[in-house]
Amino acid sequence: MRLAIALFSSTLLLTANAASASGADYIRAYGAQGVNLWRLANQGRKNDSHVSQRPILVVQDSSNIEEPNEFPDQWFTQPIDHFANSSDTFKQRYWINTRHYTPGSGGPVIVLDGGETSGEDRIPFLDTGIVEILARATGGIGIVLEHRYYGKSIPVSDFSTDNLRWLNNDQAAADSASFMAKVTFPGIDEDLTAPNTPWIYYGGSYAGARAAHMKVLYPDLVYGAIASSGVTHATLSNWEYYEIIRNAADPTCARKLEHTTLAIDALLGVPFAKRFIKSLFGLEDLAHDDDFISVLESPLGYWQAKVWDPAVGSTKFDQFCTFLDKPILGNGSASSLPVGHEDRLVHLPGDIKLDFSILNYAQYIKENYVSQCKTSVEDCFGTYNDSSFLATGLDQEWRLWLFQVCTEWGFFSTAPPDPAHPRIVSKLLTLEYSSKICRQAYPAGKYFTVPPMPNITAVNALGDFTISADRLAIIDGEVDPWRPCTPHSDYAADREDTILQPFKLIPNAVHHYDEYGLKNISDEPVEIRKIHGEMIVFVMEWLKAFKAQGSQ
């Protein structure tokens, strides 16, 4: 459920350009402004950029060199529409890890759902992450299954509204079910299909919700499932995303963000001050105030990019916070004073007084965002020109996850509903503003019309906060901004953590922290080593109880 991060482990580096190709993480948090950020991040890409580059293998230990083609592309034929009498098909891509499989042992098969990005971005998890960890522990086969429409699993010639009508939860779930029931693996003569072989279905974030849904929808095929940061609660207004960040961030940084937000909202309400504050950020020519504030929210997305492994995770959020406290004119002593203290104020024309952290915020936005704009700021950061969102070529990958947002998932970023509630985002970040991209980007087609608001009931009817089943594990991060949309939400009831229904919250963890891993688990941080050990234990216990339905 989604900030493009390069996936890098101690032995495998996925280039940032490849990881950012889908744009899903920009779109997840920022809507229309996310499309603009995606474009800036992908300027100069080739016309065939919808084809992600294979991850580059960079081995730090030259004595243990891996071949980059250890996981070649594999293909499985799927119907475009599982629920219609049609012969139209497409090829769904997957990758397989057979390092630990002993022929004749009968599985298990550990399948990782690729979710809302190219499946190539998930190959690190096949090599050193959770798939490798569980396959090694169980003597099983590891699989990464690419989601329809993403990467190279594209069933259509363009991403028009009509051609996206098969991109939905039901079709994607049917893909996975068909794959599990019918696939034959290259180089393996035996039948490892479900239900006669135990399949463990893993997913993180949106794919985590899919893992939970697969266990509910296809219990005869999915023997066990692990939903990591699984966003099983779809919602229209996702204001709690920023609330987690506000409460979990360094308190000093959070106070600066709160102060900046309130000050800028107030200045935007004063005509003579509005242009001045926009010019401070290099955005004086940006026509709409809500476009302006949506650019300012962009660095907050760095929080989700945190990962426990420093070789993978981003430290940009912490760098941003440090930047806000950079002394102005050498006045280092002011940094220790409370935000808004008289000695921290910078006096500007028009009798405007601003805490110096706001000037630093402005400089940060100019250096890291505005500087990337090669045309006008309205062209780069404006969101009111409907025609700029109508391209439907296969290179417009941002249209995929956003279509899912607009039709079934929601998750629109907004300010808190209570104006008096402390906040780190502007009050101008409204549901109307965040959702308008759905009306701009997807004009009604001949066969399909995007609803006025997403049908989140289609998601929540599958279990919402209370989704549960035997052999369905729920694993979340304590400070994950997506936790409010998972079964560990503060809105959800607590549960008992058992072997049959694991319910685990990783302390100080952000987004699907358990998905990442090291070659040697003993080298992982204590909390990550602990969760991986617990996952191995409950999966092994599940497998002890397995009996193939065909033998019952």
Residues with a catalytic annotation lie at 205, 480
Alpha helices, DSSP H, located in 190-288: 206-217, 240-248, 251-268, 271-280
Counting beta carbons within 10 angstroms of the beta carbon of residue 551, is it exposed (0 to 12), middle (13 to 18) or buried (19 or more)? exposed
Which of 434, 445, 440, 389 has its CA nearest to residue 164? 445
| Distance in angstroms (rounded) separating the CA atoms of residues 504 and 512 | 12
- Strands (E) across 30-157 are located at 74-79, 89-97, 109-113, 141-145
Q: 3-class secondary structure for 89-109?
A: EEEEEEEEECCCCCCCCCCCE
| Distance in angstroms (rounded) separating the CA atoms of residues 28 and 5 | 13
Backbone angles phi, psi at 319, to 5 degrees: -65, -40
Q: 3-class secondary structure for 285-318?
A: CCCCHHHHHHHHCHHHHHHHHCCCCCCCCCCHHH
* Chain mean position to CA 322: 25
| Residue 505, helix vs strand vs coil | strand
First CA to last CA distance, the chain? 38
Counting beta carbons within 10 angstroms of the beta carbon of residue 348, is it exposed (0 to 12), middle (13 to 18) or buried (19 or more)? middle
Other C-beta atoms within 10 Å of 447: how many?
9
Q: Are 484 and 240 in contact (CB under 8 A)?
A: yes
Burial 200-236 (b: 16+ CB within 10 A, else e): bbbbbbbbbbbbbbbbbbbeebbbbbbbbbbbbbbbe
| Distance in angstroms (rounded) separating the CA atoms of residues 440 and 260 | 31
Which of 502, 501, 500 has its CA nearest to residue 545? 500
Cα distances (Å, whole numbers) of residue 449 to 107, 157, 407, 442: 43, 19, 9, 8
| Residue 345, helix vs strand vs coil | strand
